[in-house]
Amino acid sequence: MPPRSEAVLLLTHFLDEHIVSLYRRLAAEAGARDVRILFNATDDGNPGYRAPGDAAVWPFGEADLRSLGYPRKGRHISDLDIELFSFPFQRAHPEYEHVWIVEYDVDFTGSWSEVFDAFSSNDADLLATNIHRFADNPGWWNWRGVRGPGGRVATEALVRVFMPFSRMSRRAYATLDAAYRQGWRGHYECTVPTILTQAALRIEDIGGDGEFVRPANRNRFYTSTPTVNDLSPGTFVFRPVMAAAGGRPNTLWHPVKPPGTRYVRGWRLGRMAAANRRLMALARRAGRQWSWLRGRKRGEGNLESPG
């Protein structure tokens, strides 16, 4: 696929000199690909900053997500729906066959062209990291929130993906758009790959060590541990936060948040995010209490209260 048919979006919720430097590096190393800063203006962490003229900023906000018209997803800026952040851009620019997403705390120890060009002729509808099935880590909390138009989705159909660095095809966007209009909902790390595999679209892992990785790419661009909720240890994980990328060359690293960088505590994610996190914490605690009470009722030993 010619690089000019690809866009590269640097996703961020704040703008400052650090973000501009990341953008300039991407623009210099992405070849003929179009590079933009995909800016979450609803969560602007540095509202007084004005980006220089050479920084191509493409802002979006809650109103743009609501305009997508999905009955269950995209009502607010939410950490369940981060995949939707690029949907308004893709709708405005359908000329791109593929759209890459690079979150602001992703680093690559090499020229970005090394990883982009490695997949320039790859026709996968989704390229991402840490792709695995329910059976690989059934304890991941977000499996249980996924619903299709008919309700719960069979666990054997559930797939998880990690998307701070990813690429989606025009066909993938159209497939997800249709599914969300039908009422699909849940955490995007599960809805996206589950919907695409159910539609017989092709998903592929950029690296790592799982069934979705091509043999030639096994552990090539990153390492991780998908059987653990935070995907650690590895170079491309959910936690812990890294102050700098490691020394392994031509490798993806996440999350990288240098100590001197402002506004890097994570997505604030609109008015609903804090309330949603509190509700989910309460739901997890209620689930633990219920399991404990059921165990007491069945007489399963001297069980201690989970608190």
CB neighbour class for 301 (10 Å; exposed up to 12, middle 13-18, buried from 19): exposed
Every domain of the chain and the residues it spans: 3-271, 275-307
Domain 3-271 carries which CATH code?
A: 3.90.550
Predicted confidence band of residue 259 (pLDDT cuts 50, 70, 90):
confident
Q: What is the pLDDT of residues 276-299, one digit of tens each?
A: 445 544 545 555 555 445 555 555
For 113-132, write each residue's pLDDT tens digit. Answer: 999 999 999 999 999 999 99
Q: Is the pLDDT of residue 150 over 80?
A: yes
Q: Residues 6 or more apart from 223 whose CB is under 8 A from it?
A: 207, 208, 209, 233, 234, 235, 236
pLDDT band, very low/low/confident/very high, at 222 (cuts 50, 70, 90): very high
User: What does the pLDDT look like over 5-58, one tens digit per residue?
Assistant: 999 999 999 999 999 999 999 999 999 999 999 999 999 999 999 999 999 999
For the whole model, what pTM was predicted? 0.86
Q: Which of 257, 286, 258, 277 is nearest to 164 (CA)?
A: 257
Sign of CA dihedral 232, 267, 167, 251: negative
With CA atoms as reference, report the closest residue to 39 among 27, 50, 28, 30: 50
Q: What is the mean pLDDT of residues 170-192?
A: 98
